[in-house]
Amino acid sequence: MRILLTNDDGIHAPGLKVLEEIARGFSDDIWVVAPAEEQSGAGHSLTLTRPVRLHQHDARRFSVSGTPTDAVMMALRKVLPQAPDVVLSGVNRGANLGDDVTYSGTVAAAMEGALAGIRAIALSQVYHTEGLGDAVPFDAARGWGARALGPLLQAPFAPRSLVNVNFPPLAAEAVRGIRVARQGFHDYARGALVEGVDPRGYAYFWFGLHGIAHTSGHATDLEVIDDGYVTVTPLQLDLTHEAALAELAGRYAA
Ligand code: MN
């Protein structure tokens, strides 16, 4: 089984090392093609206005001067001799729950794999304490990564679908199990906005991710992770709102 690893935190991110340890439990045929720099929040963006550079670190380890989507495209079009059987993206430093998935470079890299018809899984480690930098603990991902991935490497994946896995901010022994849950919803409009003045006297603004509310009690990934479980959420790239199709068609009918 050939596995492609990527992420949005960059080729040097601690979570990518954690993912490599997890993946090596399943295969020796591991390839890493990841962004050269952190791309968190890049979503599914594709670099079109400047060239992309490829840097080889060793025989099966490459970085790309672009987004997570660029990295997966380069892996599939240039780097790997044959398509991988699986694309794993992560382990992200921080949650990709609820509406995070549309902003997430981690999830977008898995989306790119899914678009190419490859089994694709995004993995993220939730943390609570801000300001830890690279010291964010990956205990739950380390302890539960193989248990979360095992069934997903066997399960059928529908075309243009992927799976999003999040690990709770707990020691591995404290994690209660694995739950399959639907995508929840955040209220990004009410998140933190940090304001300051730069050294040259100009105002700046910085989007914070703490303080983003969600409505609990709906049995989504957001609540399940709060209850101490690893969450497994199947996602689809077809964003069509089925229920609105007929209603809107009626409004355009002559
Ligand atoms: Mn990230």
Per-residue confidence at 118, pLDDT binned at 50, 70, 90? Answer: very high
Read off the pLDDT band of 254 (50, 70, 90): confident
**pLDDT for residue 210 is more than 90:** no
Mean pLDDT for the stretch of residues 58-64: 98
Residue 20 parent element (H or E):
helix 14-24
Domain ranges of the chain: 2-185+216-252
Query: The tokens of 47 are what?
Result: 């670099």
The alpha carbon of 125 and the centre of ligand 1 are apart by a number of angstroms equal to: 10
CA 213 to chain centre: 20
In the numeric block, which tokens belong to residue 191? Answer: 């998140």
* Percent of the chain clearing pLDDT 70 (strictly above): 96
Give the distance (Å) from ligand 1 centre to CA of residue 80.
24
Longest dimension (CA), the chain: 62
How far apart are the CA of 247 and the centre of ligand 1, in A?
A: 38
Cα 212 from chain centre: 18
Model pTM?
0.95
Q: How far is the CA of 79 from the centre of ligand 1 (A)?
A: 23
Q: What is the pLDDT of residue 130?
A: 79
**pLDDT tens-digit readout, 82-107:** 999 999 999 999 999 998 999 999 99
- As a whole number of angstroms, the distance between CA 106 and CA 171 comes to 23
Nearest Cα residue to 166 out of 235, 97, 236 = 97
Query: Would you state the pLDDT for residue 81?
Result: 96
Residue 197 CA to ligand 1 centre (angstroms)? 26
What's the gap in Å between 254 CA and the centre of ligand 1?
48
User: Ligand 1: distance of its center to the CA of 6 in Å?
Assistant: 11
CA 93 to ligand 1 center in whole angstroms: 5
222-250 pLDDT, tens digit each: 999 999 999 999 999 999 999 999 999 99
Phi then psi for residue 55, to 5 deg, are -125, 125
pLDDT on residue 170? 97
CA of 119: how far to CAs of 98, 115, 145, 167, 238, in Å?
21, 10, 16, 20, 16
In contact, 152 and 141? CB cutoff 8 Å: no
Element (H or E) spanning 107, and its range?
Answer: helix 105-115
Question: Amino acid identity, residue 67?
Answer: T
What type of residue is 9?
D
pLDDT of amino acid 128: 87
Model confidence at 135, in pLDDT bands (50, 70, 90)?
Answer: confident
Tokens of 178: 């694995």
Across all residues in the chain, what is the average pLDDT? 94
| Ligand 1 center–CA 59 separation, angstroms | 25
Could you identify the residue written with the tokens 């509310």?
213
* CATH code for residues 2-185+216-252: 3.40.1210.10
The pLDDT tens digits of the residues spanning 27-39 come to 999 999 999 999 9
Residue 215's pLDDT band (cuts 50, 70, 90): low
DSSP states along 159-196 = TTEEEEEEE-SS-GGG--EEEE-B---EEGGGS-EEEE
pLDDT score at 187: 72
As a whole number, mean pLDDT of residues 132-160 equals 96
